Amino acid sequence: MNSILTHPDERLRQVSKSVKVFDDALAERFGQLERIMRAGPGGVGIASVQTGLLQRMIVIDCRESRRPCKNHGLLYMANPVIELVEGEALGREGCLSVPDWVGMVPRARQIQMSYDDIGGQRRKLQASGFEARVIQHEIDHLNGVLFIDRVISTRDLVRRLAD
């Protein structure tokens, strides 16, 4: 679990399995995911499947995003489930696993969700705006879905410009 899988690697299309054991090894895997995410260009979220680990784990941190938003800081989430969505917003997305492309993707504007924290405690969270978009994007990864599957039109999929 040291590098990012990139499209069209078929492992990105697999559905991840639930996390059942909450121990020091899980905490270390979350830490590795965070390090990999931060090493990527503009990484604000990562799903474990992007590193070949088929467990329902995501790491989110929008604090240093170019898109300012109200957020909950660094989140380690196991077994995340979106329970309620509200509104819709169209926004540009990119992905560490699809590094050369960005596209316009419709997402819920606000979400309510639950997840297990690093100790296995079930938590609830409400998110909106960019943070909600990132969470939805990463949960899609856990279900084998990439943002390129959700672009509204292939005309809206464009080559990423160099930063």
Residues serving a catalytic function are 138
Asked if residues 103 and 93 have their Cβ atoms less than 8 Å apart, the reply is yes
Query: CA-to-CA distance for 145 and 33, rounded, in angstroms?
Result: 19
Scored b (16 or more CB within 10 A) or e, 107-139 reads bbebbbbebbebeeeeeebebbbbbbbbbbbbb
Asked if residues 51 and 4 have their Cβ atoms less than 8 Å apart, the reply is yes
Asked if residues 156 and 103 have their Cβ atoms less than 8 Å apart, the reply is yes
Beta bridge partners of 59: 46, 76
Shortest CA distance to 115 belongs to which of 40, 57, 162, 67?
57
Shortest CA distance to 133 belongs to which of 159, 107, 163, 103?
107
